[in-house]
Amino acid sequence: MDSAILTKLARYCAYQERCISEIKLKIQELDGTDLQDDYIQWLQENNYLNEQRFIGLFIRSKFNQKKWGRGKIQFELRKKGISDSDIQAHWDEIAEGDYTEALKVLLEKKATSLKSGTPNEKYQKCYRTGLSKGFEPSLVSQVLKGLFPKGFA
């Protein structure tokens, strides 16, 4: 193993939490040899790379900063090669009350920003907004029932 590459990989991991697929891409960028597994093992042994820590941090940060729902977070983690069982083990990173409250705030903000259109059109736009952020359809409908008169749900 090349110590210069190890140093670069260690810095890359120390700057921000990374997953194994991101490290593999970086190794290919730096060095095209077949030592990927050796580099990854060294990074894990020296606590630069911890995929469980990455998953927990990813879930918390995407929810807290970007207000993403579980669907969108799960989709993005799958794109990074994270298994569904690992993702499911970390859903408790988001408190259920906070999750529902974030959706409610998002939909209230969207509803107040809509100036024109019928109540039905406003409902549909709010519904699509909730879905696009990755929230579950049943939860979006439930929250919208409190924001709009009955009859649009």
Q: Phi and psi at residue 89, in whole multiples of 5°? A: -65, -15
**111-139 pLDDT tens trace:** 899 888 888 888 999 999 999 999 999 99
Residue pair 140/103 in contact (Cβ under 8 Å)? The answer is yes
The letter for the amino acid at 14 is A
Judge whether 110 lies within some domain.
yes
Q: Phi and psi at residue 38, in whole multiples of 5°? A: -65, -45
DSSP at 153: -
Judge whether 152 lies within some domain.
no
Greatest extent of the chain over all pairs of C-alpha atoms, in Å: 66
Whole-model pTM: value is 0.85
12 shares its domain with 25: yes
100 shares its domain with 140: yes
**14-47 pLDDT tens trace:** 999 999 999 998 888 887 767 888 889 999 999 9
Residue that is written with structure tokens 């941090």 in the block: 57
85 shares its domain with 102: no
